Amino acid sequence: MDMIKTFGEAGIIPVIVIEDIEKAVPLARALVKGGLPVLEVTFRTQCAAEAISKIKSEVPGARLVAGTVLGLEQLAAAREAGAQACVAPGFDQEVVRAAKALGMPFCPGVATASELSQALALGCKMVKFFPAESAGGVKYIKDLLGAFRWTGVRFMPTGGVNLSNVSDYLAVPEIVCCGGTWIAPKDAIAANDWTRIETLAADAAKLAKARKC
């Protein structure tokens, strides 16, 4: 996967937490049908790898990304399950190097200029800015770009991004996409309300499309 190209075409990436494996496929179908095909399945639950595998085999058009990849075991599990890229909330040199050795596109998380410098030194072209709103939001990213724009780095802000502020983030050219949990709320998943999730995905997809126009 060309991570920057694929994430950029999507514009908004649903960050999903799957606790019940039976909900993985219908959730993914609703998101893809709504117009958001790139899905970040977080390794916050025991069934994350199984969810990635099931979605890959049963939901045509879904592009699977493993999220919250914090260590080498999770990296290996994501690869085995069929994830096409991995995202982390923090920066771990060992994991970045391992992903590179495996040929796995990897987007580490950063929240400071020092972490960004280290990520760039290891060849990372895109970073996850996390937790975006708490760490300073759009203004902080613009401040970082004042020093780092020349590197060509691209950002994926996640954490506190929602329908009310995502357009502000997407207005920054160096922001490839945004990740968000608001598209797949826990209460909707628990209620099997796939229609609501499809609608939320469609609303987000419209914003992402407007950014490209």
Q: Which regions of 28-182 does DSSP assign to beta strands (E)?
A: 38-42, 63-67, 85-87, 106-107, 109-110, 126-129, 154-157, 178-180
Q: How far apart are CA 46 and CA 60, in angstroms?
A: 24
Catalytic residue (one of 23, 54, 56, 128): 128
Q: Give residue 71's identity as a one-letter amino acid code.
A: G
- Distance (Å) of CA 15 to CA 41, 46, 84, 179: 6, 16, 15, 6
Q: Name the active-site residue from 40, 54, 133, 198.
A: 40
Residue 94 appears among annotated catalytic residues: no
Distance CA 108, CA 154 (A): 12
Residue 128 bears catalytic tag: yes
Catalytic residues: 40, 128
